[in-house]
Amino acid sequence: MLEKAGIPTVPVITDEFTSTAREMADLWGVPEFRFVTMPHPLSNLSTAELEQRANELVDKVIELLQTGQPE
């Protein structure tokens, strides 16, 4: 909904939910919608491990915001 309103958005999901995210994008009428994935699960990660994963995604998020395409 934010993308449709012209607000650049980059959802971050775990790879377990990739097909669900694509289906939801289709249902919402934005089949080209892009997102960034990280390995599943997250619940067993420490704060430091979660921060490390987030830091590893920063470049992908920036690239997607700038170009609309992941690296």
What is the rounded CA–CA span in Å between residue 54 and residue 51? Answer: 5
11-29 pLDDT, tens per residue?
999 999 999 999 998 998 8
End-to-end CA distance of the chain: 24
Say what the pLDDT of residue 19 is: 96
CB neighbour list of residue 34: distance below 8 Å, 6 or more residues apart: 10, 64, 68, 69, 70
CB neighbour list of residue 10: distance below 8 Å, 6 or more residues apart: 34, 35, 36, 61, 64, 65
Say what the pLDDT of residue 47 is: 96
Regarding pTM above 0.95, the answer is no
- Segments making up each domain of the chain, as ranges: 12-67
Q: What is the mean pLDDT of the chain?
A: 90
Residue ranges of the chain with pLDDT lower than 50? none
Say what the pLDDT of residue 8 is: 85
